[in-house]
A and B are shown apart, each in its own frame.
Chain A
Amino acid sequence: MQPHQYIIIVGCGRLGSMLANQLSGLGSSVVVIDREETAFNTLSTEFSGFLVTGDAAELDVLRRARIDKADCLLATTQHDNVNLMVAQVAQTIFQVPKVIARVSNPSREEVYGRFGIETICPTTLSAEAFLSALGNQPEAK
């Protein structure tokens, strides 16, 4: 991955904060958005990015995070639909070059994958990990 990217992370839960800490450590400029200010407590002391409190499904909140300048947006909240909406807004309206959404419902993930939204499905990934830990190869998709 290229260093010094401008990355927006939506959602500062366990996944979002882990990504924020690591990407910030790798030298990227990171902005984290979360509705709850207390969510930012999970960021490490070395985290050197910016924090935006608000609902990323609101255009104004994305603008405050300077989405027009972003190289990348990662939508990581626990809500599939929030992630899918924010990802589409980033990709279609603000032309952010790299957008990835976390989508937990595998059938919903499949629909959006088909329509050009890059998704990561934790459910499918864990199932594959479980199966390979059991010594079975995951089924070819």
Chain B
Amino acid sequence: MRVILIGGGETIETIYFLSRLFARRGYRVTIVNPHSDEARMLSRQVKATVIVGDGSDPAVLEEAGARRADVVLSLTPQDPDNLVACQVAQRLYNVPRTMALVNDPDNEQIFRQLGITEVFSATRVIGSLIEGQTVFDEITHLFPAAEGQLHVSELVLDEDAPATGKSLAELDLPHDSLVAAIIRNGQVIVPRGQDRLQLADRLILIGLPENQEEVFRLLAGKGA
């Protein structure tokens, strides 16, 4: 997988950590950064090709290998720069996936209407993380999947939890919900109906958002 990452300035930290993550996964990463001092730092610290320049400039994108790139990810602090970088990548170099950061959440919809395949709003992501926090420490909403139709959450069984000591078959969970994994003493167990839950088990749950409250009540004795 060939990835081009565009950004710098206020988003330099994100660029650094993402490129490190991608490099560890074996992706071929090229970073386009407008500031020569940042570019120098990145080229010393990350396994990536670093190019100094404006990622929305067609010549710079071409130099970064846009013609053969699988993904272009534009993460500059300026929304217009992210839009144009992705559009140039898509239209001129036929990059199959273009992803843009929007700093102003109002632009999320606009970017989609203007043809960017994947759009992230940092403000929205952080907002939804806060909304995902529950009042109980035992329950963590991990992430919504399939545009929010499915929820993945994590729950730790404490001594008050009604599910402790019971088997999954006895629990009679709602139909569209699943205990996908049990994490017990650091080991991952993919459970079957007869497996008994124990104190301090961490359960990874997958289910429909509307069933969530019922699932939490049956397992932990409390709602979200």
Instruction: Give A contacts to B, CB under 8 Å.
Output: 57-60, 79-82, 84-86, 88-89, 92-93, 105, 107-108, 111, 114-115
Contact = CB atoms under 8 A, between A and B. Distances in A.
B76 to A, nearest CB: 9
B84 A57 contact: no
Interface stretch (B56-64, B65-73, B128-136, B176-184): B56-64
A82 B81 CA distance: 8
8 contacts: A57-B79, A58-B106, A60-B106, A81-B56, A81-B80, A84-B83, A88-B114, A89-B110
A84 B80 contact: yes
B78 interface: yes
Contacts, number: 55
Contacts of A59: 106-107, 110
Q: Which of A81, A82, A107, A114 has the most chain B CB atoms inside 10 A of its CB?
A: A81
B92 interface: yes
B113 A93 contact: yes
Closest 3 CB pairs of A and B: A81-B80, A85-B80, A81-B84
Contacts of A86: 80
B91 A111 contact: yes
B88 interface: yes
Interface of B: 56-59, 78-81, 83-84, 87-88, 91-92, 104, 106-107, 110, 113-114
Given A81-B80, A84-B84, A85-B80, A105 B114 contact: no
Contacts of A92: 113-114
A107 B57 contact: yes
A10 B33 CA distance: 28
Given A58-B104, A105-B57, A107-B57, A80 B84 contact: yes
Contacts of B88: 108, 111
Contacts of B106: 58-60
Nearest to B84: A81
Contacts of A111: 58, 87-88, 91-92
A101 B106 CA distance: 22
Contacts of A88: 83, 114
Residue from A58, A79, A84, A114 having most chain B Cβ neighbours under 10 A = A84
A82 B92 contact: no
B59 A107 contact: yes
Given A57-B104, A108-B56, 6 more contacts: A59-B106, A81-B56, A84-B83, A111-B87, A111-B92, A115-B87
A57 B57 contact: no
A86 B84 CA distance: 11
Given A59-B106, A92-B113, A111-B88, A81 B58 contact: no
A89 to B, nearest CB: 6
A80 B107 CA distance: 18
Contacts of B58: 105, 107-108, 111
Contact of B78 (A58, A60, A81, A105): A81
A89 B87 CA distance: 14
Contacts of B56: 80-81, 108
A85 B104 contact: no
